Amino acid sequence: MGGSIHLSPVSGPVEIDGGGMTIEEVVQVARRAREVTLSPSSIERIAASRAMLEKLVREERVVYGITTGFGRFSDVVISKEDAARLQKNLIASHAAAVGEPLPAEVVRGALLLRAVALAGGYSGVRPLVVEQLVALLNKGVVPLVPCQGSLGASGDLAPLAHLALVLTGQGEAFFRGRRISGAAVLAEAGMEPVTLMEKEGLALINGTQIMTSLAALAVFDAGNIVKAAQITAALTLEALMAVPDAFDPLLARVRPHRGQARTARNIVRLVEGSALIGADRRKVQDAYSLRCIPQVHGATADALDYVRGVIEVEINSVTDNPLLFVEEGRVLSGGNFHGQPVAQAMDFLAIAVAELGSIAERRVERAVNPSLSGLPPFLIHEGGLNSGFMIAQYTAASLASENKVLCHPAGVDSIPSSANQEDHVSMGATAARKARQVVENVSRILGIELLTAAQAVDFRNPQKMGRGTALAHRLLREEVPFIARDQPLYPLINRAVELVSGGRLVEAVEKEIPLEL
Please give the positions annotated as active site. Answer: 64
How is residue 36 annotated by DSSP?
Answer: E
Cα–Cα distance, 356 to 226 (Å, whole number): 8
End-to-end CA distance of the chain: 20
Rounded to 5 degrees, what are φ and ψ at 233? -65, -40
Rounded to 5 degrees, what are φ and ψ at 72? -60, -25
Is residue 516 classed exposed, middle or buried when 0-12, 13-18 and 19+ CB atoms within 10 A define those classes? middle
Three-class DSSP category at 15: strand
Buried b (16+ CB within 10 A) or exposed e, 215-240: bbbbbbbbbbbbbbbbbbbbbbbbbb
Which own/partner pairs from 324-332 qualify as long-range (CB within 8 Å, at least 24 positions apart)? 324/49, 324/52, 324/53, 324/122, 324/123, 324/124, 325/122, 326/45, 326/48, 326/49, 326/52, 326/121, 329/52, 331/56, 331/63, 331/66
Q: Where are the beta strands (DSSP E) in 267-359?
A: 323-325, 330-332
Give the residue among 229, 217, 203, 28 at the shortest CA–CA distance from 132.
203
